[in-house]
Structure 1
């Protein structure tokens, strides 16, 4: 395992029950509070790089059930997910369009989406934030 993967494993908490509750073949990882002097929050791009070092990517929210699951596990902090605004259009990292019936964004002033305890929203992509990775099981 590469050094980056080991570091990610130490600061990312797997949500194994996501496999059962969401009927998906992914493991979701909440990434925060790294050991010692490492950053616990990163920009959206650095968060995505951290995920890809572990053969994962930022989470894509495909259902209301998954969104509810994430909201109940994010404590009182925002977490980046794989949704950004490019040329005025909201797209997931797999290039699918945003479904407002699942992931509603009311504040569209910024370019990167976050999920928190009871909300979804946006922050500037450069603002250090926690992040959620997902990887194939």
Structure 2
């Protein structure tokens, strides 16, 4: 008699399959957590780098900006803030006094000081007579150029055509509006038609004056003491 024995062991019927390895779920979770932490740390470091870069840029802008003697023509400041020593400006900018006086002055908003005079270069355009009236309303008059230093300064500061206080209305001779003698001349050509003088700041300073019709609308330069 043949009897088949039931074997429930691991070698039953000789067909036992090897036990599959289960993944280590705890290890996978731990690795995921580490990756997540690393990502958060990387993001924090990136944000810190951006903030540090912004701080460095702000410091560079502040260090490369104007020195203690700020150009007062850009802002309306109260009298105590306007009390800036010209000697201090000269010491800071290391330039001749005539070149630094416009850096510290109390001329007012939009004006700049050169030597002992304040100058205003307009952005709006008027006729010669209206320009003079506007300068008078501001407490000055159209600019009178009596030396090469002023001529060079105004030529460098502007880049347009400006009315100046030069005319020959009612006479054939060019005269300044304050009756100052015309001791220096920077004409390109004074034989052209027109009885009012302009300074062409975009031309060489040695030859930048031109006659023009007085009713033309141009920018203008005012001056006051």
Q: Give your verdict on TM over 0.5.
A: yes
Contact 2:146 2:182 in 1 (8 A): no
Contact 1:14 1:27 in 2 (8 A): yes
Kindly indicate whether structure 1 or structure 2 has the higher relative contact order, using CA contacts under 8 Å at least 6 residues apart: 1
1:83 equivalent among 147, 163, 166 = 166
Deviation, structure 1 residue 127? 0.2
Question: Are residues 1:31 and 2:122 paired?
Answer: yes
**Superimposed CA distance per residue, residues 61-118 of structure 1 (whole angstroms, 9 cap, x where no aligned partner):** 010111011111111x10000000131110000112323x443351332111111222
Contact 1:81 1:115 in 2 (8 A): yes
1:14 equivalent among 111, 125, 138 = 111
Partner-residue secondary structure (3-state), 1:65: helix
The separation in 2 between residues aligned to 1:45 and 1:92, in whole angstroms, is: 14
Relative to its length, the structure with more helix (as a share) is 2
The separation in 2 between residues aligned to 1:120 and 1:28, in whole angstroms, is: 18
Aligned to 2:154: 70
After the TM superposition, which parts of structure 1 deviate over 4 Å for at least 4 consecutive aligned residues? none
Partner-residue secondary structure (3-state), 1:89: coil
The separation in 2 between residues aligned to 1:105 and 1:57, in whole angstroms, is: 24
Question: Are residues 1:128 and 2:189 paired?
Answer: no
Question: Are residues 1:113 and 2:197 paired?
Answer: yes
The CA RMSD over aligned residues, in Å, is 2.0
Question: How many pairs are equivalent?
Answer: 112
In the superposition, relative to structure 1, how do residues 69 and 79 fare at CA in structure 2: closer, same or farther (>3 Å)?
A: same
Between stretches 108-117 and 50-59, larger displacement belongs to: 108-117
Aligned to 2:176: 92
Contact 1:58 1:133 in 2 (8 A): yes
In the superposition, relative to structure 1, how do residues 110 and 43 fare at CA in structure 2: closer, same or farther (>3 Å)?
A: same
Relative to its length, the structure with more strand (as a share) is 1
Contact 1:61 1:103 in 2 (8 A): no
